[in-house]
């Protein structure tokens, strides 16, 4: 090999490394599934959900490219629990297990990378201000952190460490800021409109590939929900529709912006929930993109499906405190 060819390959290595790190919005949906409602003091809610995320759409900016050679699929199992310390204060935890697959098919060759394992977790404290803007409107705010429980050093079949977006964990602590506002209406109390905002300020993995620093871009998600309840054959069903806006800043490697990461997305989310018992409900929702604008060229979500169960318990009533008090008479 001549010197000129060797020099060309060396100069191309950083470019190949950057392209290999292309972001594709395929990570664990922690922010999507945090924020169970705050119920009465002593109530416990436990949710178990399965999330399937399919990414088979290649975009350049907001232009969809005619290229289906790349496929990214993420399977996630999500367990969250929410306990009400008071009528207005609760603590919620969200834990995850994830399986991620990325397949590239070109020139009759197929390259498959995959990882699986325990993912990161979120702990969130929430406080509710009931009837803050009228008797039908509640406001809640929350503050929490993402715990780096998942591995960030998984390798492929050749023993090469995979890029950050394919790892089950991030090896970084994030701050999570959460808020929610909901209102109902006198003309139909079962109909409600609500909105919630989640902002994640990401930390830095200072041991990325051993001696580099990787930081996922800060992320903002804003939702607006419209829901109603109906009685169907003595069973409560709750259909709803939501719209989600997501903004992700560019990732950084050693404090430099990483190309082909970050962007803006808008999704529509139809959702259906049914109460199987007074304590147990089942829900199924789809997340469909209606707008996306990405930095550079990226795989973007094609569709996402989430289903799961939520079980809730209420505190037992204090029977003794409700018994009528005996009147004492004074005998002379």
**Rounded average pLDDT over 10-15:** 37
Mean pLDDT of the 37-55 span: 95
Tens of pLDDT, residue by residue over 145-197, are 999 999 999 999 888 999 999 999 999 999 999 999 999 999 999 999 999 99
Q: Provide the 10 A C-beta neighbour count for residue 131.
A: 10
Could you report the per-residue pLDDT of 290-326, keeping only the tens digit for each?
A: 999 999 999 999 999 999 999 999 887 665 545 555 5
- Residue 199's pLDDT is 97
Contact 121, 96 (CB under 8 A): yes
- Phi and psi based region of residue 159 (left: phi greater than 0; alpha: psi -120 to 50; beta: remaining): left
Token pair listed for 38: 């705050």
pLDDT tens digit string along 198-254?
A: 999 999 999 999 999 999 999 999 999 999 999 988 899 999 999 999 999 999 999
pLDDT at 9 over 70: no
Both tokens of 116, joined, read: 């699986």
Tell me the pLDDT band of 13, cut-offs 50, 70 and 90. Answer: very low
Instruction: Give the bridge partners for 221, in sequence order.
Output: 198, 246
Terminal C-alpha separation, the chain: 118
Q: What is the CA radius of gyration of the chain?
A: 24
């Amino acid at each position: 090999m001549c010197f000129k060819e060797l020099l060309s390959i060396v100069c191309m290595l950083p470019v190949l490394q950057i392209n290999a790190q292309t972001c594709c919005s395929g990570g664990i949906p922690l922010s999507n599934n945090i924020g169970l409602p705050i119920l009465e003091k002593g109530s416990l809610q436990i949710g178990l959900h399965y999330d399937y995320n399919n990414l088979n759409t290649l975009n350049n900016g907001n232009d969809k490219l005619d290229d289906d050679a790349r496929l990214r699929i993420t399977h996630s199992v999500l367990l969250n629990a929410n306990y009400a310390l008071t009528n207005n204060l609760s603590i919620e935890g969200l834990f995850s297990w994830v399986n991620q697959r990325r397949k590239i098919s070109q020139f009759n060759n197929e390259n498959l990378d995959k990882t699986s394992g325990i993912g990161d977790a979120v702990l969130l404290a929430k406080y509710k201000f009931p009837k803050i803007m009228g008797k039908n409107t509640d406001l809640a705010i929350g503050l929490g952190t993402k715990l780096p429980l998942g591995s960030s050093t998984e390798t492929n079949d050749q023993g090469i460490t995979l890029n950050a977006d394919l790892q089950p964990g991030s090896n970084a602590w994030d701050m999570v800021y959460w808020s929610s506002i909901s209102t109902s209406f006198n003309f139909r109390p079962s109909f409600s409109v609500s909105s919630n905002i989640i902002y994640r300020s990401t930390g830095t993995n200072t041991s990325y590939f051993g001696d580099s620093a990787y930081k996922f871009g800060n992320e903002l998600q804003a939702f607006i929900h419209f829901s109603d309840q109906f009685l169907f054959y003595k069973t409560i069903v709750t259909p709803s529709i939501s719209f989600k806006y997501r903004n992700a800043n560019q990732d950084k490697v050693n404090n430099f912006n990483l190309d082909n990461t970050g962007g803006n997305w808008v999704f529509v989310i139809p959702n259906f929930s049914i109460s199987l018992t007074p304590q147990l409900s089942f829900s199924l929702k789809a997340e469909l993109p209606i707008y996306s604008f990405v930095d550079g060229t990226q795989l973007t979500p094609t569709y996402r499906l989430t289903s799961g169960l939520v079980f809730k318990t209420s505190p037992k009533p204090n029977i003794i405190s409700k018994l009528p008090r005996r009147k004492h008479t004074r005998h002379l």
